[in-house]
Structures are given as C-alpha cells and as structure tokens.
Amino acid sequence: AQKVTQAQTEISVVEKEDVTLDCVYETRDTTYYLFWYKQPPSGELVFLIRRNSFDEQNEISGRYSWNFQKSTSSFNFTITASQVVDSAVYFCALGTSGAGSYQLTFGKGTKLSVIP
C-alpha cells in the first residue's frame, strides 16, 4: 500500500524567511512518481512539480526547490525568501503505475502561513 506522510500540520514564517516542507513516502513499487500541489484559499489544487523514481536530480524553479532522496524516501520542498502569496496548503502526492493503477495518494497537507 502507498502512504504519504507530511508531519508538519501547520507552519508560520515571517515574510522573506526560507521554509522547508517535509514529505516522506512509502511504496513497494520500484517505479513511482512524486508530486507537489498547492491549494490556496480559493480551493483549486495547483500542480507544482513532478519527479520520477529513477531521477533523483534535485530541481530549482525560481524561489522553489525540491530535494528528492530515495535513501530516506523523502521529497522535501523549500521556498526561499517566502512571500505572503505563498500562504496555502501544500500537498505531497505519490503515484504508482503498478497493475495499471494511476491513482494518487496524497498526504494530509501542510498549511503554510507567511506573515508580512
């Protein structure tokens, strides 16, 4: 069975601080995909990034960066120089294609509040 754990329920930071959101996953599949989504107060889930299990290269996109480590089954997300617009709930999700299943398993989310 697949499982995603986001241990941080809520985080508050002051604007311009860096913040890291943790994600730990469990799966027995050797091929899997990891995602981060942002859910602002408006409610729509916004896709941020996708990572394949065979590609551990970290990625940076502007103020966002992701650290994928298979050895610790973690896929952490760092926001540098946070802004008020970053305030949202962030979800980590795991997708596997074993037996043709294409569902995503989501963590419970981390609510990030950036205080001006």
Partner 1 sequence: DTGVSQNPRHKITKRGQNVTFRCDPISEHNRLYWYRQTLGQGPEFLTYFQNEAQLEKSRLLSDRFSAERPKGSFSTLEIQRTEQGDSAMYLCASSQVGGDSPLHFGNGTRLTVT
Binding site for partner 1 (CB under 8 A): 4, 31, 33, 35, 37, 42-47, 50, 52, 91, 93, 95-97, 100-109
Name which of 47 and 84 has its Cβ closer to partner 1: 47
Residue 11 CB neighbours (<10 A): 16
Judged by CB, which is closer to partner 1: 7, or 81?
Answer: 7
> Minimum distance from CB of 35 to partner 1 (Å)?
6
Question: How near is the Cβ of 39 to partner 1 at its closest, in Å?
Answer: 9
- In angstroms, the CA 38 to CA 92 distance is 9
Task: Report the candidate in 22, 35, 24, 12 with the shortest Cα–Cα distance to residue 82.
Answer: 12
Distance CA 14, CA 32 (A): 35
Instruction: State the minimum distance, in angstroms, from the CB of residue 102 to partner 1.
Output: 6
Rounded distance between C-alpha atoms, residue 71 and residue 45, angstroms: 29
Least distance to partner 1, CB of residue 90, Å: 10
Alpha-carbon distance values, 6 to 2, 45, 62, 98, 101 (Å): 14, 17, 23, 23, 23
Q: Which is nearer to partner 1, 20 or 40 (CB)?
A: 40
